[in-house]
Chains A and B, each alone.
Chain A
């Protein structure tokens, strides 16, 4: 557990690569009331494929870094595939194993994207 706050996580937390908002993108939001993490993701989807993904929001280092990593992971993937994606992929990419409490921080971005079905229906 000592390596939870490894350099990659700290760097992504301080300077997330995918921080921002896409004009005209589809927006989804998720809150983790437990710790106050709150993020808003905007996606640009073309023919069912995610061509760009960004996020804004505030939260702990784990939620911010994990969401930033998630944005990298989903670019170029089909939205249907991402909706069914397992959170363990994020953990794998982070290179750490998370406790159940921290999984809620790390999976916040994925939980937001899962809401996109409702946004697309509208």
Chain B
């Protein structure tokens, strides 16, 4: 599998354990971007020359490929610049006109800052109430508390599909059913940044109203993201960015915008990124979910066993029903802090891990991790040998600090 990723040709012994931050890019994605610039390189829409029409066709096809990928309709897919932009779009285009003083927004304690700060700021601005679903000592959401947290004033629940720190997979379908049973008008937004590359997502089956994800964690390019909006929700939203592109008629005193999803894609969109994202999706589909799931389960089991065999290490995350994101720290504060371990692993073993708060500062403080944690995360290219080198590096770091 490493043969598909040219970075390993340029850096043969590179061990990349940070796919939760961004996935490495396969040949097909890199070639797709390059091909657009060398053979097409035209802006989409309203160009009547051949390359512009070709660009428009490919951009439209990508939207269809994305829609099929998550079982949505093409009219429900908005291209954005990433998960963060997708969530902010909802907080602004939907939140501004639907959240009022005294309304409630429910999120969870395991959110990435991208699914926390937009709601926190909206709540502060609107004098709304921000509530949190707690994370229990098993590193899972306290599902039993949800029915008590939902009230007639709960306008939206925003939660992650997979925690980018704990690796916990949240039972979205079950949670959505609980929420909708108590208050059918409460909307559900899911941050899918950490799930789309690792498990099959079906937005209809999950029953969610919004689903956000990024292209670059899906083996695609940076700068492209997706927001799924359930069709009937668009009528309660208004665009907040205006300009060239999605308009049908413009007068001195008014403008008639195009219908959604197009009216949310103002200006020149990330054309090549959208096209290359569809090639990232095709890459995943060519491998297949069964193979991806078996590969990841094997890596997770192996990594958990190996890490647990080092007595100085404490893992933060569930042992079962989890994704390939594993965070850990040394129990003894005099052993390497996350930054020190990351430095040693990189400079002495060519191993890339993430260190710090992983954009989830309150969650780290909840577990008393004031200097953050070390996090490894897997992609399709990782092997158990990669984990062996990691373990060797961890043991060496303990030796240096002893």
Contacts and interface: CB of A to CB of B under 8 A. Distances in A.
A10 B400 contact: yes
Interface in A1-57: 1-2, 4-5, 10, 13-14, 33-38
Contacts of A4: 343, 347
B364 to A, nearest CB: 8
Contact of A60 (B337, B348, B357, B400): B337
A62 interface: yes
Contact of B370 (A1, A10, A38): A38
Given A5-B340, A5-B344, A34-B356, A58 B371 contact: yes
Interface residues of A, number: 20
Contacts, number: 56
Contacts of B336: 60-61
Nearest to A5: B400
A12 B372 CA distance: 21
A37 B400 contact: no
Contact of B371 (A1, A37, A62, A102): A37
Contacts of B46: none
B337 A59 contact: yes
Contacts of A13: 334, 401
Contact of B337 (A2, A34, A61): A61
Contacts of B339: 35, 37, 60, 62, 102, 105
Contacts of B317: none
Nearest to B397: A5
Contacts of A59: 337, 371
A102 to B, nearest CB: 7
Interface in B1-28: none
B355 interface: yes
B225 interface: no
B343 A102 contact: yes
Given A35-B356, A36-B371, A37-B371, A2 B338 contact: no
B377 to A, nearest CB: 18
Interface string A93-113: 000000000100100000000
Contacts of A38: 370
A120 B334 CA distance: 35
Interface string B355-367: 1110001001000
B334 A14 contact: yes
Contacts of A5: 340, 344, 400-401
Interface in B320-360: 333-334, 336-340, 343-344, 347-348, 355-357
Contacts of A62: 339-340, 343
B343 A35 contact: no
B357 to A, nearest CB: 6
A1 B349 CA distance: 12
Given A14-B334, A61-B336, A105-B339, A35 B344 contact: no
B370 A58 contact: yes
17 contacts: A5-B340, A14-B401, A33-B357, A34-B356, A35-B337, A35-B338, A35-B356, A35-B372, A36-B338, A36-B370, A36-B371, A37-B339, A38-B370, A59-B337, A60-B339, A61-B337, A105-B339
Given A36-B372, A60-B340, A61-B340, 6 more contacts: A35-B355, A37-B371, A58-B333, A59-B337, A61-B336, A102-B343
Nearest 3 interchain pairs by C-beta: A60-B339, A36-B371, A60-B337
